[in-house]
Structure 1
Amino acid sequence: MPTASSEPERLLVAIQHPAHVHFYRHAIRELEADHEISIVVRDSEVATDLLDAYGFEYDVIGRSASGVRLLAAQGLYEARMLRRARAFEPDVMTAIGGSAVAHVARAVGAKSVVFTDTEHAALTNKLMAPFADEIWTPECFHADFGAKQVRYPGYHELAYLHPDRFTPDESIREDVGLGSDEEYVVLRLVSWEASHDAGAGGIDDVGDVVDRLEATGVRVLITAEGDLPSRVRNRQVDIEPHRMHDLLAGASLFVGEGATMAAESAVLGTPAVYVNTLRMGYTDELEARYGLLYNCQGSFRHRMALDVAESILSGEEDRDWESARERLLDEKVDTTDVILGALTGDGSY
């Protein structure tokens, strides 16, 4: 555990994904009264929409990219971050993943505090680890970064979905046209464009999923990063991104390819069927320790996911989801407290 030190006055926070906005937002609000904070963002429409929705000021210093353009985009992103850091003179720089933050912080003499929960982001982890001062991970994280690694009993999602931080707004039902007692499933499809998703796979046939789930009597609401087949396009929900957690909290089930949204559902007490060839320490633990998430991998993941989903919706898979969530919350911490301790040098939570 890092030793306590005097609180830094200037913090630079780098946002590279919409989930990072949620992760940092409560900590930023608590710190901004006594610290000067600069938020820089690698632009994505959802990330900037979220920053706008929460009233944060920020500077866009890079664009998202994939494939052969990724290396050039990363170089430009780091160059612009270096320029911003030299002007701002931060005491501490922080990010999730954080290879750029680790490099730039070393160049400007700032302390780098990096958070990660994604073992298969191998290239990012390899570029980040030698330069970062502290690497904070959940206890269930499989990889070992040595003496600079700090493990804590929590998940990234508990920085914003811990009950001390989040209360679901049930008006979301009316917003998406649901009846007051209507059961629904959230189906999440990802774009597979992220560098750490290379070679991975998920759902084989979205139409088949919709048909099988709707046959149980529920309504299927789809959130997707790409285009949908025409026959299921009318199931896609159009809500503001910061309302997604309200939708997950009221669902009977989550089925999807995104690990973050699967974990969000699980910590909210909504059982999650995660359909992806990739798995992480937190998806393993949410399944093995709490039974709130079902990992569906391998060649038969599509069929396995549908079988599990049907057994949950029919009541054949009879678990007390709320009790499982209560146990999770009893054993895990509010991750915003972890972030605050890491960024102020307190190290306590």
Structure 2
Amino acid sequence: MKILFYFGHPAQYLFARATIKRLRNKPDFEVVILIKTKDVLENLLKTDGFPYKNILPQERGRSKFHIAWSLLKRNFKILPLLLKNRPDLMIGTDASIAQLGKLLNINCISITEDDYEVIKTLGDLTYPFSNTILCPEICKVGKWENKKTGYKGYMKLGYLHPNVFNPRFSVIEKYKLPAKYVILRLAKLTAHHDFGVKGIDSFFLDKMIFSIKDHGYLPLISSEDKIDKRFEDYLLRIEPSDMHHVLSFSSLLICDSQSMSVEAAMLGIPSIRYSDFAGRISVLEELEHKYALTFGFKVGREDDVLQKIQKLLVQKDLKEIFQKKKTELLSEKVDVTAFLEWFIRNYPESETIMKFNPEYQNKFIC
């Protein structure tokens, strides 16, 4: 069975990385990986040593025109590859493979963790052509519910479940990080669904750094984009592959990144999200209101964020409290890598099983 994975974001690749390793070790499976340039995606693949093809080496622009033009280019780049080396199944979060899969009668599984209303443009371009939409149970996929296969978990558990990931304290020692530090993650906000969305600006960053230092913690900035020179002394300079180990031993994450907030929750690290997306994403709403692992604030509520920072950083046994919350979450969620490997290896029969007996997935809870 030949499987083609297409990745346009580091989190998408990380979700499937452990599954790809397992499939590559099976004699009856062949895996092909296509990517486009995005953040540290190519760096991660190089580190892991997987063969891949980068079909768009240059990062696209930020305008709607650039996004549409990029989709056309991906279609033209991928089509001849499919005609020459036809896969049995395609997996990814992209309209191009869904559209080309429909054209060439190749099954396509679209993976997502975002609600349709948040990624409406991508959904309209992708879901009509997908055979299956594989996503957490909590996600909403609009009028394509008949194509949805929901699982008890999150995409981030594909690479941060304890059966897959073990934090290494040696990484902390390598970078000589202190016992008490807070990560400030600044997203680039250039995705198709980020138009008009605001996050942390320089003025608010100044206030948060002062508050963090005032409580005896070291602020460390991780940014997808260039930052003002006055913040360079706080930059977290590490290998991308070490990021989750550094996050695992942090005391708090503050960010305007939805993705990293979910990652922190999987590791039992409290997070504060400052973004226009607060209150709009089902996965994060569940993590906030059911498991109390993250806290979302819309742009403009700076004072509320500063108060929450103070409340968390002065809380006794902060790490122990949030590790217990993580344990509760894991007791109700599947080992996503084990589930995904089963789902792919047995597709499309696995989809039928999940439709008629969704409790079958409980065998992957451990």
Q: TM-score, normalised by structure 2?
A: 0.88
Q: Contact 1:24 / 1:336 at 8 angstroms: preserved in 2?
A: yes
Q: Contact 2:112 / 2:133 at 8 angstroms: preserved in 1?
A: yes
Aligned counterparts of 2:112 and 2:6: Cα–Cα separation in 1: 13
**2:309 counterpart SS class:** helix
Residue 338 (structure 1) shift? 3.0
Aligned counterparts of 1:225 and 1:263: Cα–Cα separation in 2: 17
Q: Percent identity?
A: 27
Whichever residue aligns with residue 28 of structure 1, its letter is: I
Match of 2:100 among 101, 104, 111: 104
Question: What corresponds to 1:240 in structure 2?
Answer: 239
**2:32 counterpart SS class:** strand
Q: Quick check: 1:91 aligned with 2:91?
A: no
* Alignment RMSD: 1.6
**2:40 counterpart SS class:** helix
Whichever residue aligns with residue 91 of structure 2, its letter is: T
Runs of 4+ that moved beyond 4 A: 316-319
Aligned counterparts of 1:195 and 1:258: Cα–Cα separation in 2: 15
Deviations 1:53-94 (A, max 9, x none): 111100111243221222112101111111111112111001
Q: Contact 1:273 / 1:296 at 8 angstroms: preserved in 2?
A: yes
Question: What corresponds to 1:11 in structure 2?
Answer: 3
Aligned counterparts of 1:159 and 1:207: Cα–Cα separation in 2: 35
**1:60 counterpart SS class:** strand
**1:333 counterpart SS class:** coil
**1:135 counterpart SS class:** strand
Whichever residue aligns with residue 137 of structure 2, its letter is: E
Aligned counterparts of 2:199 and 2:171: Cα–Cα separation in 1: 28
Aligned counterparts of 2:343 and 2:89: Cα–Cα separation in 1: 10
More relative contact order, 1 or 2 (CA 8 Å, 6+ apart): 1
Aligned counterparts of 1:250 and 1:317: Cα–Cα separation in 2: 14
Q: Contact 1:93 / 1:110 at 8 angstroms: preserved in 2?
A: yes
Whichever residue aligns with residue 291 of structure 2, its letter is: Y
Question: What corresponds to 2:341 in structure 1?
Answer: 340
Whichever residue aligns with residue 52 of structure 2, its letter is: Y
Match of 1:29 among 5, 16, 21: 21
Match of 2:110 among 114, 136, 146: 114
Aligned counterparts of 2:189 and 2:22: Cα–Cα separation in 1: 35
Q: Contact 2:222 / 2:236 at 8 angstroms: preserved in 1?
A: yes
Whichever residue aligns with residue 141 of structure 1, its letter is: C
Question: What corresponds to 2:273 in structure 1?
Answer: 274
Whichever residue aligns with residue 12 of structure 1, its letter is: L
Q: Structure 1: which 5+ runs fail to align?
A: 1-8
Question: What corresponds to 1:130 in structure 2?
Answer: 128
Residue 45 (structure 1) shift? 5.0
Question: What corresponds to 1:5 in structure 2?
Answer: none
Whichever residue aligns with residue 303 of structure 2, its letter is: R
Deviations 1:89-115 (A, max 9, x none): 11100102x211111111222100011
Aligned counterparts of 2:148 and 2:87: Cα–Cα separation in 1: 22
Question: What corresponds to 1:285 in structure 2?
Answer: 286
Aligned ranges for residues 169-208 of structure 1 at < 5 Å? Answer: 169-179=168-178, 182-204=179-201, 205-208=204-207
Residue 316 (structure 1) shift? 7.3
Residue 299 (structure 1) shift? 2.5
Range with bigger deviation, 79-88 or 129-138? 79-88
Q: Contact 2:90 / 2:101 at 8 angstroms: preserved in 1?
A: yes
**2:160 counterpart SS class:** coil
Question: What corresponds to 2:161 in structure 1?
Answer: 162
Q: Quick check: 1:314 aligned with 2:314?
A: yes
Deviations 1:4-32 (A, max 9, x none): xxxxx010000101112211111111112
Query: Cα distance 1:229–1:298, how it changes in 2: closer, same or farther (>3 A)?
Result: closer
Whichever residue aligns with residue 74 of structure 1, its letter is: L
Aligned counterparts of 1:273 and 1:338: Cα–Cα separation in 2: 30
Question: What corresponds to 2:53 in structure 1?
Answer: 59
Range with bigger deviation, 317-326 or 262-271? 317-326
Q: Contact 2:274 / 2:299 at 8 angstroms: preserved in 1?
A: no
Question: What corresponds to 2:139 in structure 1?
Answer: 141
Residue 276 (structure 1) shift? 1.0
Query: Cα distance 1:220–1:183, how it changes in 2: closer, same or farther (>3 A)?
Result: same
More helix by share: 2
Q: Contact 2:199 / 2:299 at 8 angstroms: preserved in 1?
A: no
Aligned counterparts of 1:326 and 1:55: Cα–Cα separation in 2: 32
Q: TM-score, normalised by structure 1?
A: 0.92
Aligned length: 337
Residue 317 (structure 1) shift? 9.9
Question: What corresponds to 1:4 in structure 2?
Answer: none
**2:295 counterpart SS class:** strand
Q: Contact 1:153 / 1:332 at 8 angstroms: preserved in 2?
A: yes
